[in-house]
A and B are shown apart, each in its own frame.
Chain A
Amino acid sequence: MSTNLLEIRGLNKRFGPTHANVDIDFTLKRGEIRGLIGENGSGKSTLISIIAGLYPRDSGAITLGGAEYSPRSPLDANAHKVSMVMQELGVVGTLPAGVNVFLGHTRQFTEAGVINLNALNKAATKVFERWGLPKVPLNRLTDGMMIEMRKIIELARALSVEPDVLLLDEITQSLSMNNRELLYELLTRLKDMGKSVVVVTHDVDELIRITDTITVLRDGRVVGSVESAATSADEIKLMMVGRRIEGDYYRSDLAPDYSDEVALRVDGLTVDGEITNVSFELHRGEILAFCGLSDSGIHSVGKAVYGLSKRLRGTVKLNSSELRSATDALRRNVAYVPKDRDNEALMIRDDILSNFVLPSLDTLKGALGYLAPQRLRALALKMTAKLSVKCTDINQVMDSLSGGNKQKVNLGRWLAKSPELLILDCPTRGVDVGVKAYIYSLMLEAKRSGAAILLISDELTEALGMADRLVVMKGGKITRVIRRDEDFTEQSVIAVMV
């Protein structure tokens, strides 16, 4: 048997006038972990979507295990032992977790036209156990589950077909640190079993750490492939953008630097089952980062401060008066960027303009509550230009933008108000290095102008790179607060986080 499992020769794919994949050659060995990287829009999602049977190719040849391979659908790809976890969330919210694991494969549990849920859940439990995935309540609807849990369900679905080729599109950015470790172990196990994995991610350092080889795409073409052990993050970045990215994009100063004036004072904040007795102060011009593992409650802190969850106890005071609700926060110039961009932050089927103006309607309205169309347009146009959002027109549907550009709108609509307090939950999730650097520069600009920033991050490097002080949480409680000029290192954070 040849060691090459998957071979792609001269593959092309066009979407209308856009040439998404150009003459792609790509070979995947058995037991190989391959990284795929490139800027937003470089064609990597298109490539693995073709392998996964989501789109047909225009031209080129693909063989799988030596035989011609042209999947008609994702299910057909599954039948060939190829499965994928997609970048955008792919669970059906109104179905329980267990059924989502076997979506499209429920016939095996069907008796006389009825799905035997017991048998299905048993089989689902087996999948979770076999691959060492964290437990998920199988009977609960996936609506309302945390984004991470939904990702794990998708992963279980992909693994349930016992894939020879597993395709992972931007999965790690939805996972917290401990579950990332689980995923890394899983990859090693698959490798030992002789299975192959293709990982797409924007995190260069992670990619180098977990893959055997890395293929870089740019403008729909393969720029080259390198051995992970013999490359560096800088080399990869250079290949990705075709130009050198200047130095580090985090801040370079080593001391905290903020005003003494307290902007936000949180005292004894408790949300049932999520966080307990959380107290902290956030000053003007300060970036306060929250880090922790998946059940640490860092994301709940952001929600609770903005007034989106029911506070059991405790107070949240902005400029020493209570923030009562999200509506109150909106009125008092607080900004909140949730982690789940497409489902919680944006109206993805509405146009760019509507998304931009939504938080600013109070400031835009004139006499009799009149929202002048030209004022709305002016705001959207100004911010689209300022953030260089790539779009043909502000009436374009949000969903037709790439991830990085969506995130620019998501963040930019708040910056248009020059907020006093910014709550940013994973603001760089799913964006490429260029946009990432840009978002950091926007954060620093807001900091300089005196805004208080509450940064919640699943990426320790980002938190260390940007924060004045770092709050570490574990099991819903604050375990330590570290200043930028103390022992501000990954080791010291991990020591109190795990």
Chain B
Amino acid sequence: MKKLKLQDVVPFAAFIVIFVFFTIASGGKMLSAYNLRILLDQSMITIVVGLGVLFVAAQGSIDLSVGVNVAFSGVLATHISLRLSAPWLLIPAALAISAAVGLVIGVIVSKLKVSSFMTTIAMLIGIRGVVNYIQTKIGVEYLDVSLKILNEPYVKIPLFIAVTAVMAYLFEFTKLGRYSRAIGENETTARSVGVPVEKMKIAVFLLSGLLAGVGAIFTLISVGGSTNTMGNFLEMKVAMAIFLGGVLVTGGASARIYKVLLGAFSITIIVNGLALIGKSESQISETVEGILLLLILYAATAAARRDRRRSVKQAVASETSATEST
């Protein structure tokens, strides 16, 4: 029998509380077909990008470059596809550029041993500058109308589901996912078993970059063009979603695919709910958002602490019961 961990229950409980609260507070407006569509739309980008970052988080690292990577690959890919008058080139271009950024980060983190936090913060600042520079040169650009079809729900939603399914498969059912969690649990252990730790680190940043490219495509097709504010603060939203979902900062076995979805929906509902009950656009909305996030994260941490205490108790207890059962 698997004991339910409090740590895994809290994120669900938080989600339900948020959901019920805003459903009631908005007088049911939250559940309107129109609003549900908006909710899904708003969550999609956070989820898609978060699915990539989850691999990094599982290893106990963090990727804060995804927001700027969305902007960088989005702006460049749009420009290239317009320049060459090949609208569909947008997709491979965005993926190639974002993956290349991820690869560079992966090499820096694994080979030069710079912490992922510092590396990706540096990227966040540095690349944002490049994006702003490019944008002043080329101005706002609009996608070719032929790409509009991608924003139709019957294309966009299956696309989203396909991406999620592939990532879930990679994370839960392949060596890449298992090795990444092992690295987060204990890097020394992973190394001494023979896990190719360096290769795995590069792989997850590459993957995280690639998914930022997917995020860029999703952003472009819902906005219709590129601006230099694309992906602003997305890295924070994604990191929040992952931690809200119940993944520990240290990664490891606590990292699971469903937690990204859970966390992303929680965040989106908070933002959307505040808008519905008319608290949006006012400065107060962000403050309330911050306070709510803090509360949920506190509850999750407290739960993790309790789980830990319980496991220590169990350890000492089983020490004794092991003999009794002989």
A interface residues with partner B (beta carbon < 8 Å)? 15-20, 39-43, 45-46, 218-220, 306-308, 325-331, 336, 338, 343-351, 354, 357-359, 361-362, 365, 368-373, 390-393, 395, 397, 399-402, 404-405
Contact = CB atoms under 8 A, between A and B. Distances in A.
Given A308-B192, A349-B252, A354-B178, A401 B323 contact: no
Interface residues of B, number: 40
B33 interface: no
Contact of B319 (A17, A20, A362, A393): A20
B182 A358 contact: yes
B194 A395 contact: no
Given A19-B320, A41-B320, A349-B252, A308 B191 contact: yes
Contact of A371 (B178, B185, B199, B312): B178
A360 to B, nearest CB: 10
A371 B173 CA distance: 5
Contacts of B138: none
A212 B186 CA distance: 41
A390 B194 CA distance: 27
Contacts of A395: 2
Contacts of A18: 316-318, 320-321, 324
A350 B325 CA distance: 24
A39 B186 contact: no
B258 to A, nearest CB: 15
Interface in B181-216: 181-182, 185-186, 188-196, 199
Given A20-B316, A42-B323, A354-B178, A347 B252 contact: yes
A348 B311 CA distance: 11
Q: What are the 8 tightest A-B residue pairs by CB atom distance, in nearest-first order?
A: A330-B194, A347-B185, A41-B323, A15-B317, A18-B317, A326-B194, A41-B322, A327-B196
B191 A326 contact: yes
A401 B321 CA distance: 10
Interface of B: 1-2, 169, 173-176, 178-179, 181-182, 185-186, 188-196, 199, 252-253, 311-325
Contacts of A349: 185, 252-253, 311
A402 B173 contact: no
A40 B174 contact: no
A362 B174 CA distance: 10
A343 B316 contact: no
A369 B174 contact: yes
A19 B321 CA distance: 8
A42 B175 CA distance: 39
A402 B175 contact: no
A219 B175 contact: no
B9 to A, nearest CB: 16
A399 B308 CA distance: 10
A346 B193 CA distance: 9
Given A15-B317, A371-B174, A354 B181 contact: yes
A346 B313 contact: no
Contacts of A390: 318, 322, 325
Contact of A39 (B179, B185, B315, B323): B323
A365 B253 contact: no
A402 B314 CA distance: 10
Contacts of B195: 327, 330, 358
Given A18-B317, A327-B196, A358-B193, A40 B185 contact: no
A498 B199 CA distance: 43
A361 B175 contact: yes
Given A327-B196, A358-B193, A369-B175, A41 B319 contact: yes
A41 B321 contact: yes
Contacts of B312: 399
B322 A400 contact: no
Nearest to A20: B320
B187 to A, nearest CB: 10
Given A359-B194, A390-B318, 11 more contacts: A15-B317, A15-B320, A16-B313, A41-B323, A336-B194, A348-B186, A350-B253, A368-B174, A370-B174, A371-B175, A400-B311
B2 A15 contact: no
A397 B173 CA distance: 20
A485 B199 CA distance: 47
B320 A347 contact: no
B43 to A, nearest CB: 27
Among A219, A330, A338, A402, find the residue whose CB has the most chain B CB atoms closer than 10 A: A402
Nearest to A19: B320
A140 to B, nearest CB: 17
A17 B191 CA distance: 38
Contacts of A219: 320, 323-324
A218 B323 CA distance: 8
5 contacts: A18-B317, A327-B195, A327-B196, A344-B188, A347-B185
Contacts of B2: 393, 395
Contact of A402 (B186, B199, B318): B318
A339 to B, nearest CB: 10
Among B178, B313, B319, B325, find the residue whose CB has the most chain A CB atoms closer than 10 A: B319
Nearest to B185: A347
A327 B199 CA distance: 10
B316 A46 contact: yes
A171 to B, nearest CB: 18
Contacts of A39: 323
A327 B194 contact: yes
Contacts of A40: 319, 322-323
A392 B311 CA distance: 14
A399 B315 contact: yes
Contacts of B317: 15-18, 20
